[in-house]
Chains A and B, each alone.
Chain A
Amino acid sequence: MESLVKRWKSSQFTLWVVLLLLLLLITAPIFYAMLASFKTNMEIFNSPFSLPKSWNFDNYINAWNLGNFKQYFLNSAFITVGGMIIVALVACPAGYAFAQLSFKGSNLLFYLILLGMSLPVQAIIIPIFFQLKTMGLVNTLTGVTLVSSGLALPFSIFLMRNTFKDIPKELRESAAIDGAGEWRTFWSVILPLAKPGVVALLIFTFMNIWNDFLLPLVLLINQEKFTISLGLYSFQGEQTTNFGLIFGGTVISMIPSIIIYIIFQRSFVEGMTGGANK
């Protein structure tokens, strides 16, 4: 018996060590960037692996102010929050309709929407650009917000449909017997039960829009409208010679996603597996 415990312990121990080493290896690029962001150009060049000589935040301060990351940050926040609101308001009722209200052609319609899930954005980005142009929304944050929400819909509706499917139909029926209208039932009976799903939806939307690159790249023109991804890209391109500054900007760009991820880690993972396993 004792030896068995020992064996379990030791095998668990090796597993731990192996996984920990793997984890360090895989997250090494992130730590590398963090270290480099405190270094001067010459330090990065001459001693890429050592700890910085001093922990100075110059690169962050310069990226934030001179590199315009402050502006990029606000732009990204606008687009992301706007997108989250629109997606939640639009995808929840639609997901509910597909999951709980039976109507003719619901399957067909649903598959039509699902089609958008596998469609590569690149296939339609050119028409989207010209369409926004006729709408006068190119180079506006509103335009990017609307398009981002539109493109997020297929997955969001899919996710919400699965969420609402898990809620027994009897609940809805008994509410109907009590005389509640469909919308009333939705708001006051079903939606509160679907809270975890809604939270997952919001986190997903946050990640997708905050991290998006292609849409801002195509749809935004003026530097002052750039999102954080696009800002980082243009920051490292062209004429910037300061690697420390670039890493400063890189770390600034990754902090929000990492924080949101750490806070909502659990619902994030649950939402993801829930979404894909159905």
Chain B
Amino acid sequence: MNVYDSTSSLEIEQKKSLSIIKGRNKIKFKKMITIISFLLPALILYSIFMLYPMIDAVRFSFFDWDGAATSMNFVGIDNYVKLTDDKIFLKALGHNLLWVVLSLILMVIPTLILAVLISRVKKGKTFFRAGFYLPSVLSLAVVGVLWSKIYDPMMGPINVFLKSIGLENLAKNWLGEPYFVIPALVIASTWAFYGLYMILFLAGLQNVNSELYEAADLDGAGPIRKFWSITIPSLRNTLNVVISMVIINALKGFALIWIMTQGGPFYMSELVSTYVYKAAFSMNKVSYATAGSVVLGIIVIVFTIGFNYYRERSEN
């Protein structure tokens, strides 16, 4: 703000312009105060409970600290080096990836088909939309308790049913066998989360140009062809959003696993989040756990930014 920059020789003019600038500054200043007053509460809350902890997380991860001692030892990237050598952490990371893949398979296409079916209904669309969304309003604690009882090997309805129709061999200990535990957990989590994606697909389907279908009808295209060549391409944006949300949510999973298996048996369903929670809150390895959680955070954020970048580019 170079107010005195003016090289005008006429003093009066100078004064005049000065006062205008001053007035403008005043307005500008007032405007700034107003804007700040709108933003400040949010910024304060955000800084205290998100920004500052983010910085702290990175800071902790460079120290050796048990959460109780009054002094912290700086150890550099030691914690991260140890993580790369920690078999259980790497296993957990692998489980996270498996979780992502299974979620994508179970959630995206089945939910899309469901949404297409609902969108075809002429009367009672709202009823179905509301009904199918119902599981999503339950808390994960409820979902976890409910499904761990459903999977119960002895009195769970699945096994009771299988045994009653003579398929004893198919009755497994769903949360106890290495090949079933993660899929079983992903099914429970799909049940809890698919509603949101269904709503998104339904909204996207409303915007699909119905003329395209009519034209396809004239061409005599079957429903499957119409699905692949019209529905999916027109829903590209929605699909992008849904896929990215599925991936992010899959990486974030914690509550269901914690309630249903606590990462067990024998680390078979350990995810980064459960491993980190145990390390921090029951083994006192606070800084080590923080390093693990920072890795998870970085993966999610890099993915999100990368995905948005890709999306913006592909849309242009």
Contact = CB atoms under 8 A, between A and B. Distances in A.
B140 A213 contact: yes
Interface string B219-240: 0000000000000000000100
A168 interface: no
A57 interface: no
Given A27-B135, A253-B142, A97 B49 contact: no
Q: Which of A18, A128, A265 has the most CB of B within 10 A?
A: A128
A: interface residue count bin? 35 or more
A190 B28 CA distance: 22
A210 B196 CA distance: 17
Interface stretch (B32-40, B82-90, B210-218): B32-40
A12 B50 contact: no
Interface string B52-95: 11101100100000010000000000000000000000000000
Contacts of A217: 258
B199 A127 contact: no
Contact of B199 (A29, A121, A269): A269
Given A89-B41, A232-B145, A118 B296 contact: no
A16 B296 CA distance: 43
B241 A276 contact: yes
Given A126-B57, A230-B141, A27 B134 contact: yes
Nearest to B188: A29
Interface stretch (B2-10, B15-23, B98-106, B123-131): B123-131
B160 interface: yes
Interface stretch (B147-155, B166-174, B177-185): B147-155
A259 to B, nearest CB: 10
Given A19-B128, A131-B52, A153-B50, A48 B160 contact: yes
A122 interface: yes
Nearest to A120: B252
Given A94-B38, A258-B137, A120 B157 contact: no
Contact of B147 (A29, A96, A125, A212): A29
A18 B117 contact: yes
B49 A151 contact: yes
A233 B254 CA distance: 14
Contacts of A230: 141
B48 A272 contact: no
A128 B52 CA distance: 9
Interface residues of B, number: 88
Interface in A85-125: 86, 89-91, 93-94, 96-97, 101, 103, 109, 113, 115-116, 118-125
Contacts of B297: 119-120, 122-124
A115 B67 CA distance: 27
B76 to A, nearest CB: 19
B139 A254 contact: yes
Contacts of A96: 38
B277 interface: yes
A166 interface: no
Interface in B255-296: 255, 258-259, 272-273, 276-277, 280-281, 286, 289-290, 293-294, 296
B286 A153 contact: no
A214 interface: yes
A26 B134 CA distance: 9
B46 interface: yes
Q: Which of A120, A122, A243, A253 has the most CB of B within 10 A?
A: A122
Given A115-B301, A131-B52, A150-B48, A124 B134 contact: no
Contacts of A258: 134, 137-138
B41 A19 contact: no
A91 B57 contact: no
User: Which 10 pairs between the two chains have the least Cβ-Cβ distance?
Assistant: A150-B49, A123-B297, A211-B139, A127-B56, A94-B42, A229-B141, A273-B203, A97-B38, A124-B53, A127-B53
